Amino acid sequence: MQKLRCIAIDDEPLALELLEDNIRQIPFLELVASCHNAFEAMDVLHQEQVDLLFLDIQMPGITGVQFLKSLQTPTAPLVIFITAYEQFALEGFELNVVDYLLKPVAFERFLKAANKAHDLQKLRQTAPVTEQATHFFVNANYALVKIKFNEILYIEGLKDYVKIYLNSAKHPVITRMTLKGIELKLPDPFFMRVHKSFIVSFDKIQSIRNLKIQIGESTIPVGEQYVDEFMKMIGENP
């Protein structure tokens, strides 16, 4: 049985511990990470494949509802809300959550919600994706910042951080994320890794000279190990 990779998100330590215990009791669930807020969860989503979120609603900074709205893409994880507040139920179901659990949650009720998520995930894996994502969100300056694919010029990797250069912004968006992690979010064949430290948008390339790419006022080198693949993509022999 393929396991659902999960994140537990709750700002209350005891509630988070109970979530972890419940997840570990269910054979088809795998706990990837436990997070105390939406920012921590976003960092995990940038690094790991995640199928299901167990998400508290009332959290400091960004609420569970706000966080969920930032994840509305065809490939976003499934979400089960877990909260002490009944008044958020309608909004939760309008956002297509799998289930809405009121604290304290009996294990039998938790298991029922998990089974529902498992069934939905199997349907997802067999259903064709008909909608193309147009954007993703990153954690920057203590906020979730929307990054539209068609606004990206290029991306520069700096160890555990990346700089995302946009045609709509004077300064790059800086977020804690690896270049490999952000590469997985970008749609092929519109973006390509051309250097160990750079990803470029093909649509934004203005010229190429001596294996140097010109995008606006920026010059991006093509790394030696990427030359052959890059030349194939632009229709030239290396």
Residues 65 and 21 in one domain: yes
Note whether 9 and 53 are within 8 A (CB): yes
Neighbour-count burial for 25-43, b at 16+ CB within 10 Å, e otherwise: ebeebbbbbbbbbbbebbb
pTM above 0.75, yes or no: no
- Is 174 inside any structural domain? yes
- 163-218 pLDDT, tens digit per residue, is 999 998 899 999 988 888 888 788 777 899 999 999 999 889 999 999 999 999 99
DSSP state of 223: P
Q: What residues make up the domain containing 181?
A: 149-233
Residue 22 CB partners (closer than 8 Å, separation 6+): 105, 107, 110
Position 135 in a domain: no
- Of 91, 126, 161, which closes a domain? 126
My answer on whether 122 and 153 are in the same domain is no
Same domain assignment for residues 175 and 103? no
Domain edge (last residue) among 92, 126, 160: 126
CATH number at residue 180: 2.40.50.1020
Regarding whether 104 and 43 lie in a shared domain, the answer is yes
The answer to whether residues 113 and 158 belong to one domain is no
Q: Do 117 and 20 share a domain, yes or no?
A: yes
Residues 6+ apart with CB under 8 A from 217: none
Q: Is residue 211 part of a domain?
A: yes
What is the CATH number for 65? 3.40.50.2300
Co-location of 122 and 169 in the same domain: no
- 37 and 10 in contact (C-beta within 8 Å)? no
Q: Is residue 203 part of a domain?
A: yes
Decide if 134 is inside a domain: no
Q: Same domain, yes or no, for 117 and 154?
A: no
Q: How many domains does the chain have?
A: 2
- In this structure, are 107 and 165 located in the same domain? no
**Do 113 and 187 lie in a common domain?**
no
Element (H, E) at 79: strand 78-83
For residues 73 and 176, membership in a common domain is answered with no
* Residuewise pLDDT in 10s, the chain (238 residues): 689 999 999 999 999 999 999 999 999 999 999 999 998 998 898 888 899 999 999 888 888 888 888 886 667 899 999 988 776 665 665 677 888 899 899 999 999 999 999 988 887 776 554 456 788 888 887 778 889 999 999 999 998 889 999 998 899 999 988 888 888 788 777 899 999 999 999 889 999 999 999 999 999 999 999 998 888 877 754 4
62: left (phi over 0), alpha (psi -120 to 50) or beta: beta
Domain assignment present for residue 140? The answer is no
Residue 133 maps to a domain: no
Query: Measured between alpha carbons, how far is 105 from 82 in angstroms, rounded to an integer?
Result: 8
Q: Specify the length of the chain in residues.
A: 238
Same domain assignment for residues 83 and 158: no
Is 106 part of any domain? yes
Which of 126, 159, 178 is at the close of a domain?
A: 126
